[in-house]
A and B are shown apart, each in its own frame.
Chain A
Amino acid sequence: MTDKEIFELLSDQRTRERGFSALVKELKEKVYWQIRRMVLSHEDADDLLQDVFVKVYQNIENFNRDSNLSTWVYRIAFNHTLNFLKVQKRKSILKFSNLEDSMLENLKADNLFDSSEIEYKFQKALLVLPKKQRAVFNLRYYDELPFSDIARIMDVSESSLKSSYHFATKKIQESLLNDDNIKFEFIN
């Protein structure tokens, strides 16, 4: 089902539930992975995913057709995840701890994470990046979204995204090379 068809179903009160069901079916996995790669824990990602779809359902009337429905949903997910991380950061400051360190610790003990050393080091290198830069990297590297789509999701210019991605890949490479002698190839 296309974005347009789903939106038409969502716009009509009588078919809204059917439209919502189609929307969830279409986007749940993509949105889940977008969130999961940012928060790392499955439990947090699951809570956030539910919040995102409830928000989408509640605010569907505010969707103006400037962008695709899926881009709008990604944007909600992106902002919701960033807010969540901000709150977590504040909480960790109050506890005199470091959010990234505790995320890595939890990741080590997570059964739903491939606990190989290389993957762990890669996530560690990613956590060094600022949140927005990490989001750019994830959307480009894992989801292979075009920069134009990422720009719409994050509401920034394409050129700044490209340079942000470039810096992100450099930082990750440096971080990994300092750790091990591993060679990475990133898409441009």
Chain B
Amino acid sequence: MEKKNNPFKVPENYFEDFENRISPFVSKTKKRYFFTENKEVLRYAAMLVLLFAIGGIIYLTLPEGKNVPQTNIASNSLIDTIKQNLIPNVDVEKEVSLLDTEINTKTQQNKTQERKLDELKLNDEEIKYLEYYLQGDIHDYLTYNEIDL
């Protein structure tokens, strides 16, 4: 038997026409390439979709009073819980208003101190010295500025 005798045949012009027949398949594939070539855009789009989805879930799962800030809801419910269960003999509302007054007083005091500092009109060097002093690094300040006491 002759070596490499090929017993198989192909239809006429099969190989010549093959390229034309494969092109439509490849152009179909090309459309899919939009997604693989624009990975960056797709990543941002996916992030946006995810954010919207999370936002949507949060919005839908909010209780009825959707416009009430969540902190108020939490603190009100906390006060109710304390009132009902933990310390029934204490007037919680009075305690809370006392705390509020204390916080307001402290804030006022801080503001007054800030105003006094502004009135002092310190120069840059003095401010720097004060910063070091307040941080407990006064020795560093003296060293960097070559000051002997």
Interface residues, chain A, CB within 8 Å of chain B? 13, 17, 20-21, 24-25, 28-29, 32-33, 36-37, 40, 42, 46, 49-50, 53-54, 57-58, 112-114, 116, 118-119, 122-123, 141-142, 144, 182, 184-185, 187
Contact = CB atoms under 8 A, between A and B. Distances in A.
27 contacts: A13-B37, A20-B26, A25-B19, A28-B18, A32-B10, A33-B6, A36-B8, A49-B18, A53-B22, A54-B26, A54-B29, A58-B29, A58-B32, A112-B9, A112-B11, A113-B7, A113-B9, A114-B9, A118-B1, A119-B7, A122-B1, A122-B7, A141-B4, A142-B6, A144-B4, A182-B1, A187-B3
Give the interface size class of chain B.
20 to 34
A114 B26 contact: no
Contacts of A118: 1
B21 interface: yes
B8 A54 contact: no
Nearest 5 A-B pairs (CB), nearest first?
Answer: A114-B7, A119-B7, A112-B9, A54-B25, A57-B26
A37 B18 contact: no
Interface of B: 1, 3-11, 14-15, 18-19, 21-22, 25-26, 29, 32, 37
Nearest to A143: B4
A158 B66 CA distance: 73
